[in-house]
Every structure is written in C-alpha cells, then in structure tokens.
Structure 1
Amino acid sequence: MPSRPRLTPDASSADFVVDVANVVREPSLGGSRGADLGRFLALLDGLAAFTGDDTTQVYAVCDRSLLTDGRLTREERRTLAGWHRAGLLAVWDVADHRIIEAAEATTAQVVTYDGFLDFHRRHPWLYGNRDRFVEPFAGPGGAVSVRRRIMPEPDEWQMSRKEEESALLAAGLYDRRDGAGPRTGLLLRRWRCPEPDCAAFGPAGHGTLPRRQGRNGRVVCPEHLSELTDLGPRPRRLQLKLRVDGAVRHRFLVTEGQDLAVGRHPRREPGVPLAPWLPQRSPARVWISRDHVLLRVCGGKLLVSDISVNGTRLRLPDGRTERAPRETFRAVGHRHVVLLHDTVQLVLSGRSFLYEEGAEGEPPPRPGPGAADESRQPTMLAAPPLPPRSRPARRRGRRRR
C-alpha cells in the first residue's frame, strides 16, 4: 500500500485526531472482513472532502492490538508497522488516553464512534460536547464520509460500567470480539497467591482483579506475577451507592445468598448502618427506620423488600414513583432509585466485578461523648407540623426593691 501524505506525527498541526482501530474494525463502513485497513484509507479521502482542503492533516492513534489483528491481511499489518516506525501512527496499549490528551491539547476534531464514558468524570467537557467530535459513515461507491456528532450524556451507572470495562480490558479480562464481554469464567472464581503476605490474594487478602497473561491465558497476581491457584466459584456480588442530598457518600456490597439489612442502625446481621452518613438533626434521621430495607441478590439481580415503619418508595425509569412491597421482594435495575427518604437514596452501580474500596469522600467524624445513641433514636411515624411557639405570659407584680 502507498504511503499516506495526510498522516502527521505532530498532533498540534493536525486537523483531525483519528481513532484508527475504531474505524478499521467498523463493519458498517463497507467490506466483508471484521477488520479492513481500506476503511481508514477511504476515511482520509473523506476528511479532505469534508474540509474542502486536500492538504488536511491527520494524527492517527491506535491500540497495539491492531498491529497483530489476524483479520487484517499480512500486507495491511506490514503497512501499519511501517507507519509506526516512521512516526506516522501513534501506538498505545490502550489508545483512548492519548486520543483525549491530544484533543485537549489541540483544536483538532476527533474521529471516533467511542463515547469515552469512562473519561467523563475526569474530563467534564466531554459530557454532551457538540463541536469536537465527528463520526464516519459509508457513502456511495465505497466512499467514507464524516458528520458531526453529539457526545452522550451518560447516567452514573453507565460511566461506572464503562470504567469497569476499561479496567477489565487492561487486565486481559474483557473480550471485545463479537460482543463477548467480561470473562466471567475467571471473574466469578476465588484465587490464592502463593505469596503468603500478598495483600490481594493471600490468606487475609481482600481480593482485586487477577491478570490474564501470555498466549496460554495464565491467571497471575498483578503484584507478584505468580500464577494464582483457583479456589473455586465465588458468589455474585452487586455494589450499591448511598446518595445523601444528591452526593454519593458510601458504597457497599450485597452478596448472593446473604440478605443484607440497611437502615439507620440495623438490628439484623449483616447490616449497613446509615447514621454516620446522615447530617445531624436532619429529618432523615428520624424518618428512616433502624431496619429500613432488606436487600437480596438472586440470579445476578437485586431484590428489595420494605421492612420500615414509614415505607420505602421506588423511582421507576420513567420518573414515576411507587411504594416498595412490604416484606416481599421486588427486582430493581440500574435505572431504579430506592428512596428511603426524599434526601436519602440507594442506587445500583454499573459495576459487576470491580469495586472501589470504601466510600467516595471521608466519613463524618464519630460522635463524641454525650452524643445521642443512634440505636435508641425513635423512628418517626408521621411528620406533623410543629405548633407555633408562644411566649409564656408575663407575671405582673410589684418589683422587689
């Protein structure tokens, strides 16, 4: 294949930053193969037509996996390697970071189908952006054109899911081929590292992502690179987030086969106490029962049952609300919100296998001596308005001299 004069090694001089693998592997752009370099070559001509400038410059970036993609011909792989050696193709283990970095440092347009959902928290300018991104589409006669696109405005759980996908991909535990997704056969196992003091996979380890390594797919400890021993299946877990006044204050896990009580100060075990996260003297402290809801995981789904005095409501995906069933379970999904109080909500995280330790933000300080005992605080049955305060009647009498 001929060299491409429109490629530049300097992102600052480029008109477009192109996610090459994203284009080469997009079947809607024509061709019968899962990966076809001809799609990218046609895109270069399409970008020149889009700008009306035949000297349009492109900064090309791709994942390292594209250089060894068996769906490309040997000549196509040789061409990519040649561009890489000449500095005309930036190759990264995962290209997304470099694409966003180049976009922030320049005025270039980004050509990609990716929504970069795992970058929205760190780069808020991506959210709903209307002027920095374009996407390719198939034109007549095998041509490839581009059109402007509006970046997505994802929900919280969608960003969490994409962040997890990126972490799994980096650990070799996510298969992008044909939508295969997470390697659940590895993620739903318990592992042991031969190093006894291993913080992640030792006898007292808290567990983290193992790493899939090499052509034979060995599962190794990411710290010691020692092969892990398979201890058998582990139960499914789901992560929930506690939102108070709109901010995420705490995260916790619900494990399959073990019901979990959530409330102000649960009597049941195991339980998640919410009192440390509720503002002092807030109505939620007296409204939320000691045992308010019971959570269960069954078949990978979250089930919720109301066990409170004042009731629990569910906000449905269409915005309506309804009462949670009393002492019977109902399935809820990512677009549901469990309302313990108007200001206190439980939402399901988009993550299924990778969990952050602890909570977002620091917990409030522990109450000091003399503070109210949360376990003894009553649950409010109703919230009647307080009567207006009246001043005590003044006593009339002789002033003592």
Structure 2
Amino acid sequence: MRFEVSKVFDAIEQRLSTDPAAARAVIDLAEVVRYVDLDGGRPASMLRLGMVIDALGRQLAEENVPVHVVVHKGLLSDADLTSNERMVARRWADDGLVEVLPNPADRVLEVADLLGLPVLSRTRFDALAGRYPWLTGQPGRLMAPLPGAGGPVLAARVGTAPAPTYADPSPVGARLLGRLWRCPDPECSSFGSMRIGRPSGQPPPTLRTGAPTCPRHDERLTDRGPRPPAEVLAVRIGGVVRQRFVVAGDQPVTVGRAPEQAGGIMLGQWLSEEARRWISRNHARFELHGTELVVQDVSTNGMGIRPGGSMDDDERITLKRQTRALGPADFVELYPGVHVGRARNWSSGGVVNPASVMAEAPTMTFRTVDR
C-alpha cells in the first residue's frame, strides 16, 4: 500500500505548478486535506488533493490539468498527516511546486485575482468579497469540491456555472507578470537565484503597501528586468486536448513520440500504432522569437501547417526540415488528427474521463460515506 500511495503522490506532483502560464486553478492544501466526506478516511489526507485535481480535470474535460497550490506552513508539521505526507509536502515546497506561507487564505485569492483563475474551496470568503468582487459577481470563479456519485464534483458557490470559469489577469497582475523578480534569500523556491524550473515561470509577487514582496519571506523583491514572453500551447489528438505546455523566450520545447530533450512533450502514449510509426521521437521544435511563435520541423517525415485553423487540404502547408512563424490561429499537424496549437484557440478539452492521478490509490481511499 505504501508503494501505491507513493505512486499517487508522484502523479499529483506532475500536476503542481506555480507557473502563471500553466496553472488552471488555485487550491489551499490545508483546507483540502480535511475534506473527510470525500473518502470517509483519516482526519487529514493529502490524497484528497488528487481527488480534487481529478474533479477539476473532469469538469474542464481535459487531461493533465495543473494547479497552483498554497500551503499553510503549519501543515508541514501537522500530526494528522503521516510522516510520509509531511515529507512529500516539504519536498514540494523545497522544489517550488507549491507556495508555503504563514497565512495562505489571502494569498489564494490574491493569486486567483492576479491571474484570473478560479479558486477551489468550500470557504465563502464573505469578508473579502468587497476586495475581490468576482467572488460574488462571476459564477464559476469560486468552486466548492463536494462529494459526488462518481467522485468529487465542483459546485459553483455563486450562480449555476457547470465548470470553473476564467478571466484575464488583473491590470496589476499583468504588470507584475511582465517582470522578473528576485528575493534577497537566494534559496527562495519562488524568487531565489537557485529556483528550480523555468526561470521565467515564477509565481506573481504579493503586494505589501503597493510594493512587490516575497510572500514566503515577506522581503521586498528587486526587479530583475522584463520577463521573457511565453505562449501556452496545447496538444490535441483526435479532437481531444491531451496536454498544455509553455513555450517561452528562455525555453523552447520539442514535441514528438518520445523526445530526448529534458522538458520535451511525449505523445507516444496517446498515438495509434500507425501514428507512432510516422511521428519521430523529436518531431517539432517550438520557439519564441520575441513575441513570434516559430516551429521547426526536425522530423523524418515532415509535418503540415493548417493556416488559420483551416482543415482544407488545399491550404495545408507542408514543412520538411523547415522553419515557419505561426499566425494567431495556425496550428501544426504532425499526423492526421495530431495537432499542436495555441491553447486559447481550443476551448474544450473533449475528454469524458481524463486520466486520474488516483489510479494507483488504495481502494480504501474511496469508502462510501453513510449519510
């Protein structure tokens, strides 16, 4: 059972991101771990985070949905968690996959406000509705994870939104996200010089009296210059959005059957046998040149560009060992039905039952709760 639980935590870890370009919702871990009615188990369990992530994926109809998780510092020593869970939470914090703070409630709403993301929480935040009008004015921005017949579901706290909704980053958020920031503590997992992960993927700063501040260390941040531009792309296979990924000025990305480069996007697990034979291990390389998204064919068999999203084969542009800038609605066709394009152009994931991070969880985690 311990091995199974560890595999679940590994799967959950793949869905954690403080990268503003990647995250799809904001969660307070200290709250979620105590949703006992989701499984009828222990007073606190980190497996419930996986259950809520699965609920988000189902209601967005999308695979591999990442979340921005905020953690109360006290959770790292909470005796209601197992020693393994506390160790995992500390590892996530050290790797910058989650934010650890003394008082996360305000930070959850601040991140959601700055980035235009929904919050997954049962807390109503009535006292903060004046500061964050979208809590009561935008259905789908505050979604409560609740027990459901086939697993947890997300219910809108305002209105009748069937799924989480999104907004543009706030004006303040847009300004903050346009810059890179540095914490005086070099080991700061969010803004330190030793930060793990994409350099320009740091979370938004918090604001203290209008000054950008490190939310963990409460130290004023220094401006390190413009943040490299980034584009969120999506892989769509057979009409289903399987994965989103970020291409930035400091991070080109290779897509293929099984890319050799670190950070490459592997498609093999979703491909038919014929598609696997056609698509190369390294098939397409995506880069940002300034704000221009460029794709380079690095494959054996070549690929196509669908200009403006057109499926007219007469308009399809073939690339073979060539490079081309992509227009706003263009997408790349690696093989018929295997597409890569800007995520904003594909609003629905199309997945009825997305892959679950809880697939390896012990069955006791899903006990039915008598009511």
Question: Fold conserved (TM > 0.5)?
Answer: no
TM-score tier by shorter-chain length is 0.3 to 0.5
Task: Name the TM-score, length of structure 1 as normaliser.
Answer: 0.42
Higher RCO (CA < 8 A, seq sep 6+)? 2
Answer with 1 or 2: which has the greater Rg: 1
Task: Name the TM-score, length of structure 2 as normaliser.
Answer: 0.45
